[in-house]
Amino acid sequence: MSLTKNVKQKTRNFIDSKHMLSGITVASFLESTIVPIPLEAVMVPLMQARREKLWLIALMATIGCIIGAVFGYAMGYYLFDLIGDWVINSFSSIEQFETVKQKMQEQGFWFVMTLGIVPIPFQIAMLAAGATKYSLALFLLATTIARSIRYFGLALVVYYAGDKAEKVIKKHKTKALIGITAVVLIAWWLSTL
């Protein structure tokens, strides 16, 4: 059996599996903690194939990310001195981490919201939140809102676009990210008035 056929068969088995929801939760946890690859590549085809579970898939992905966020925050809070250098070197640079840490201290909630929406590695934000001892409750609230926007937004696109969802997302992804980020930044600005 060729590699392509093997991958397609394993994907089909996963989609039809009774473990599909727990699998997407684990995948979301891994994406938010150690695998800096956007989950959209798996979620959109899965949502298209299992439309009857569309909203549940988005919910489980959000829950997986929240669990991962708690794990990442705890690593930053308790283990930063031991593992901080490894995480920083694995996912960014010392300069980028220092910038993130400073923004975390100054802008906390809104900074996490912005990072949680855009498809960039979230690991540094989690580590910085824990390392700076930022409020866990506010961190989790911002993470939950941001990742809900991201994952339920994908579900909404699949709900309306169906099998054309991947094309729609590719075509409008940049515009959508700019628009959502602009709304978050405006809300952030209004909160400071």
Higher-pLDDT residue of 94 and 153 is 153
Render pLDDT for 105-125 as a digit per residue (tens, 0 to 9): 787 888 887 777 766 667 777
- Domain layout of the chain by residue ranges: 3-191
Q: What is the pLDDT at residue 144?
A: 93
* Share above pLDDT 70 across residues of the chain, in percent, rounded to a whole number: 75
Q: What is the pLDDT at residue 76?
A: 85
Could you tell me which of 124, 51, 61, 64 has the C-alpha nearest to residue 90? Answer: 124
* Share above pLDDT 90 across residues of the chain, in percent, rounded to a whole number: 16
